[in-house]
Structure 1
Amino acid sequence: MHRRRAALLTALLASLAMGASYPEASGGPSSGHGTLDQRGVVRSASGPLAGAEVTLLQAGNHPGAGARPLARTRSDSRGRFSLSYRAPESPDAVLYLTADTGRPGPRGTGAARRQRPVRLVAMLGTGRRAGKVVLNERTTVAAGFAMAQFTQGGEVAGRSPGLQNAADVSHNLADIADGSAAAVLAGAPNGDQTSTLRAFNTLADVLSGCTAGQTCGPLFELAARPGAPVPKETFQAVADIARLPGNHPAELYALADGREAYRPRLVQAPDAWTLALRYVGNGHELDGPGNVAFDAEGTAWIGNNYTFNADPRQSVCGSRVLSRLTPTGRDVPGAPYRGGGLYGAGFGATVDPRGHVWIGNFGFQGTDCPLDASRLYRSVSEFTPHGRPVSPPWGWRQGDIVQPQGTVSDRDGNIWVANCGGKSVTRIPEGNPDRARNIAPGGDRLVKPFDVTIDTRKRAWVTGNGSDSVMLLSPQGTPLRSVTGGGIKRPMGIASDSLGNVWVANGGAVVAPCEGTTPAMVAEAVKDIVTRHVDASVTMVRPDGTTPVEPFVNDGLFLPWGIAVDGNDTVWVANFGGHRLANLCGARLSACPPGTRTGDPISPADTGYTSDGLERNTAVQIDPSGNVWLANNWLDVPLQTNPGGHEMVVFVGLAAPVRTPLLGPPQHL
């Protein structure tokens, strides 16, 4: 009897040290004395998972920092668990739950040792989480993709605000309260309108085979990125898939054969395992989004071509609103903003070192709009970090601005504006419009200037869409040289890397809609292009202005328009056709898959990263969480009364995070 009582006492003390099960899986009050409770359930596609080791962790606050366990317990026979923990002091601390389970290891390895290849995860995020939490395959896919750029060795760590924003984005994929697909993913404009929900569920089915103890080995081998260690558990496997989604897509799909616990699901293998979400803000503001710029918190500032109207047959005038979305795609309180001379914004959007936002007013409008655009396309607009217009009702017009497109800030706060209709660039020193100066290289050296980027030496590079050239300007704006050759043909977007190179998106058949070329002419020029145009390519220009003999070409490039460089110096290209996003190896070969050379495709060479959520895309930009944002600028069949698309499309966790605002070359967050 004494022995039995001693054993019971030992078991009780052990359960108190590790946490305890509870009769009902629901939220509860704090335990007192500065502690909080967290309850939940561990489930798989086949039912509850008993005996899982459940751990509550605080993510590390910089890359390489280990996650800190706050509490640990085991799930009971019905998969339920309860944890008590002391809340972290920092309100920005990111918390997450893991549930490790697996079958006993081989005999002779020690009774306490276990193989635990299954790790289910749910991101709690910042702040206290009230109510029950479910950990299952869906929540693990959501966590693995959203946190892909912050996960190493199965642990989560990273810098603010990217880490916190990524945790929030995970809740757009899975609802951790019940383990279902989240409302953002399951409903319009996502849901049954794109294939992302089906891909998400199919990935959950892929994981369920490992959870059942049947497919872990093949899953880990297929998920492993070339040159990287093979993942040892399911969460890291998902993160590895998210970071290189074109790696073995068909073979991974085959692991879901016969498993249909999560529906709806794909009926055939994708070209890559990407998860792309469409964001629409308040649902009646985005119409022809042209470009996006991120501020220091990672919120997205977006200029629109047209006044919102869901009917493309209804003629619209130029947009007079500036959208601002949270990292999860919702309107920031008080947004969208108005005033400051906004009208028909184009490709120009930037955030300066003070957090002020600058938008180029190109004067886009639909046919039959009664306004005279020529009186409205001669300015840029400036807003404070809180959305208050600083520029007057007619915008800042100093510096002979004409049909402005690319608009960027450098680290000193100088604003550079490409005057697509004026064969010139306007430089606004330190954001002071009274000091604005027009820079015209003269002749035909810079025709239809479209975009601007700033390199590591603070020099400005400007694409000349009509002159098949790139103009290099000194930090003070003095024209230094015109770069041609290397495949530069109808250049559109341009971006710099951290090594001093600049990257040019060659539109091929895309003629910038300025200086006599109308949007209707652009639509006519591209409407019958159904395969990659011969001149569609990307050119790298070295710091000395030289280029490779040939441009970089693959079938992921289909009417290239926008271009961006991520925190690892790999290159991303938005396409005005083909419903695809391309990713190229940049000049930093260590960031590319082994054997890949500069300019080689990282995305599938035959398709790029496709998505049926994409339409005609102009901009591509990378946020601090490594999400890749594209602007659905035009509809696939763009009626010129109102050709605008209505969404931003965000590929979750796909790129190396970038410190924002972007002020010249990218810096890894």
Structure 2
Amino acid sequence: MRRRRGVLIAAALLAQLAAGPSQAVAAGWEPAEQCGVVRGGDGPLGGAEVTLYQAGDGGGGRPRVLGRARSREDGRFTLDYRRPEDLRAVLYVLADFGRERRGAARSPVTLAAVLSGAAAPSELVVNERTTVAAAYALARFTGPGGVTGTYPGLQNAAAIAHNLADTGTGEIAAPLAAPPNGDQTSTMAEVNTLANLLASCVTAGPGSACDQLLDLAHRPGRERPRDTLQAAVDIAHDPGNNAAALFDLAATTPRYGPALPAAPDAWTVALRYDGNGHEVDGPGNLAFDADGNAWISNNYGFDADPLVPACGGRTVLKFTPTGQDAPGAPYRGGGLYGAGFGITVDAKGSAWVGSFGFQGRDCPVDPTGLERSVSQFAPDGTPLSPPQGWRGAGIVQPQGMSADRAGTVWVANCGSDSVARIPDGDAARAREVATPGVHKPFGTSVDPAGRLWVSGNGSDTVQVVGPDGTPGPTVSGGGLNKPLGVATDSRGNAWVSNSGILPVPCGNSSVDDLANAVAAEAGPRPGTSVTLIGSDGTPAPEPFTNGGLFLPWGVAVDGDDTVWVANFGGHRVARLCGVNLAACPPGYRTGQPISPAGTGYTSDGLERNTGVQIDPSGNVWLANNWRTVPIQTNPGGHEVVVLIGAAAPVPAPQLGGPAQP
């Protein structure tokens, strides 16, 4: 057996060296063996060329072939290879039926599985489910030449694939199969339905079912996908394209269940995270650090019972990219109480959180003295601010927060109609900057030039502030109507969400006023829209509507300058074409909805969303801030929701407009 193993390794090495420099194996790497099986909806699949790859580096490297084998009649294969020394290397397997025997039609079937990102199973299963998981998680790193990307986005994406499918069994992965996912949302059934969609081609072989799949997955203006893996990647990129027809095709091959009973409006895959299950209560907003971890503000102290009065949250959450608590999280101290929408990560990796003083009705705590500070945490969660928090600089009921490349941290003082400027993250040098053009400043964003944009929820305006704190122009018009979130794009334009009816509960407004505004929800409200303001401060003549805008709150711009809008109602997120028209479907204009015009991207995993942010892997994170029916003793939602692979990645921390990694 030892002699046979040595022969196999030598043969694999010779084959890889003969294939060219990109397939060569570095001397000294540790020998390894990976057993596996290729399966389709109808059972084992023999005759597949199984190739193990190391993903390429986004700096220009190509994927490297580590080993090859052919699946036997029972679908099994053995890959002998040398394990890369780089512990961050991303490994994935393709089972390709495209190189068929002479005289046979070329098969478009390619199945995939991610090998790295979790402990390698004793036997790797490659099937339709693992292909869906790989296609969505790696959607933003997969192209005609294979998988390539940079740290941390690529590595985190590979790990996230294991949240969708178990590569040791080919079944639904535990995080997707259990609460807060499982039968609590439709995502598990959706992944099974997508697997059935691929099975329609795998089971039929070359022919009409495969042609249908490739035609329906074909993105307008893009090359038609050549195989099942690329078809799944294209669906992840454009989930609203031919959604109903794709469902009909999936229904012809019901191999995996439970499956969806009806067509979705779009094939977005929404995964809920709740950390340890008893910490998330009213997540307000999110910010990512350089490793792609999510720092999350939390309105309330956790209690699963909405009838138990919840006082202000005293913790900041930190989730790993796969949704677990970071070591030691959640973190306490530093004066934190009842955080709202304000959270950011600065250039040195410190997390900053505003103490707004949120608490549920009948909480016995007087929040008056607790709503006047911001808290600072080291990357490991150690509080850097004193027990009463950083105070002064006009900080009263702080909301939106942003950081810039120079190290300045900005705070929107919702209760004092100003912003706080904290240069170089040094709270001792903080000062108040008057913003006379806005009342109830709420959302903030720093543009590529270092300017701060601040929305005025109570004045229907936006104020621009220079990097040094010099007040700039005040913007009005363009449909600004009780604005909330602000996000800037790579060209210095600002995108502002107009809630139309939502009063921020600071100053002379209360949480009850906000609750009354959303009561008796019947549909999108008048005035809900998004305003585009040019980098020169000139708003577009008309705001943008549709695409799923219901009660717009948070806004984020991805690495392609595409705009994402969270909604405080309607269980949906909207996606709009940005200023980079090349990233939009052919013929689209700036502001035109990419998500379905009437619904947006809906999900029963979403509740009332406030914050929305894009991570370095291209996942869209949304905060389930309030429950759908909020009882004011404890109205908080208990999850964050992640749309897997839906957006163009954004480097983190974000310090002035999005960029390509």
TM-score band by shorter chain is over 0.9
Is 1:593–2:589 an aligned residue pair?
Answer: no
- Where 1:505 maps in the other structure, the secondary structure is strand
Deviates further, 318-327 or 61-70: 61-70
- Where 2:230 maps in the other structure, the secondary structure is helix
- Where 2:189 maps in the other structure, the secondary structure is helix
Is 1:662–2:654 an aligned residue pair?
Answer: yes
The answer as to whether partners of 1:574 and 1:620 remain within 8 angstroms in 2 is yes
Structure 1 distance, partners of 2:573, 2:658, is: 19
Structure 2 distance, partners of 1:161, 1:619, is: 22
Pick from 229, 241, 260 the counterpart of residue 235 of structure 2.
Answer: 241
What residue in structure 2 maps to residue 581 of structure 1?
573
Alpha-carbon spacing, 1:656–1:322, altered in 2? closer, same or farther (3 Å): same
The answer as to whether partners of 1:287 and 1:304 remain within 8 angstroms in 2 is yes
The answer as to whether partners of 2:315 and 2:331 remain within 8 angstroms in 1 is yes
What residue in structure 1 maps to residue 120 of structure 2?
129
Is 1:144–2:131 an aligned residue pair?
Answer: no
What residue in structure 1 maps to residue 535 of structure 2?
543
Alpha-carbon spacing, 1:100–1:394, altered in 2? closer, same or farther (3 Å): same
What residue in structure 1 maps to residue 87 of structure 2?
91
What residue in structure 2 maps to residue 383 of structure 1?
377
Deviation at 1:92, TM superposition (A): 0.8
Deviation at 1:258, TM superposition (A): 3.2
Deviates further, 525-534 or 586-595: 525-534
Q: Which runs of 5+ in 1 are unaligned?
A: 1-11, 20-31
- Give CA deviations for 1:227-280 in whole Å, capped at 9, x if unaligned: 111110111110110011000001111112232211000111110001100000
The 5-angstrom pairing of residues 264-283 of structure 1 reads 264-283=258-277
Alpha-carbon spacing, 1:368–1:329, altered in 2? closer, same or farther (3 Å): same
What residue in structure 1 maps to residue 225 of structure 2?
231
What residue in structure 1 maps to residue 526 of structure 2?
534
Structure 2 distance, partners of 1:130, 1:223, is: 31
- Give CA deviations for 1:450-470 in whole Å, capped at 9, x if unaligned: 011111211111000000000
What residue in structure 2 maps to residue 554 of structure 1?
546
Pick from 34, 40, 46 the counterpart of residue 38 of structure 1.
Answer: 34
Q: Report the count of equivalent residues.
A: 639
Deviation at 1:333, TM superposition (A): 1.6
The answer as to whether partners of 2:45 and 2:74 remain within 8 angstroms in 1 is yes
Q: Which runs of 4+ in 1 moved over 4 A?
A: 12-16, 102-105
Amino acid at match of 1:465: N
Alpha-carbon spacing, 1:80–1:426, altered in 2? closer, same or farther (3 Å): same
Amino acid at match of 2:484: M
- Where 1:430 maps in the other structure, the secondary structure is helix
Percent identity, please: 58
Deviation at 1:129, TM superposition (A): 2.1
What residue in structure 2 maps to residue 484 of structure 1?
476
Is 1:336–2:330 an aligned residue pair?
Answer: yes
The 5-angstrom pairing of residues 153-552 of structure 1 reads 153=144, 155-212=146-203, 213=205, 214=207, 215-442=209-436, 445-552=437-544
Structure 2 distance, partners of 1:179, 1:289, is: 33
Structure 2 distance, partners of 1:430, 1:200, is: 46
Amino acid at match of 1:619: G
The answer as to whether partners of 1:93 and 1:127 remain within 8 angstroms in 2 is no
- Where 1:450 maps in the other structure, the secondary structure is strand
Q: Which runs of 5+ in 2 are unaligned?
A: 1-5, 14-27
Structure 2 distance, partners of 1:152, 1:367, is: 52
Deviation at 1:559, TM superposition (A): 0.7
Structure 1 distance, partners of 2:435, 2:265, is: 45
Alpha-carbon spacing, 1:103–1:45, altered in 2? closer, same or farther (3 Å): farther
Structure 1 distance, partners of 2:49, 2:12, is: 10
Q: What TM-score does the superposition give when structure 2 sets the normalisation length?
A: 0.94
- Where 2:295 maps in the other structure, the secondary structure is strand
What residue in structure 1 maps to residue 25 of structure 2?
none
Structure 2 distance, partners of 1:294, 1:584, is: 22
The answer as to whether partners of 2:449 and 2:656 remain within 8 angstroms in 1 is no
Structure 2 distance, partners of 1:364, 1:65, is: 49
Structure 2 distance, partners of 1:175, 1:277, is: 15
The answer as to whether partners of 2:566 and 2:572 remain within 8 angstroms in 1 is yes
Structure 1 distance, partners of 2:183, 2:121, is: 30
Q: CA RMSD in A?
A: 1.7
Amino acid at match of 2:458: G
Structure 2 distance, partners of 1:162, 1:583, is: 21
Is 1:74–2:76 an aligned residue pair?
Answer: no
What residue in structure 2 maps to residue 8 of structure 1?
none
Q: What TM-score does the superposition give when structure 1 sets the normalisation length?
A: 0.93
Deviation at 1:337, TM superposition (A): 0.5
The 5-angstrom pairing of residues 8-27 of structure 1 reads 17=11
Amino acid at match of 1:430: D
- Give CA deviations for 1:33-62 in whole Å, capped at 9, x if unaligned: 831000000000001001110000000111
The answer as to whether partners of 1:557 and 1:573 remain within 8 angstroms in 2 is yes
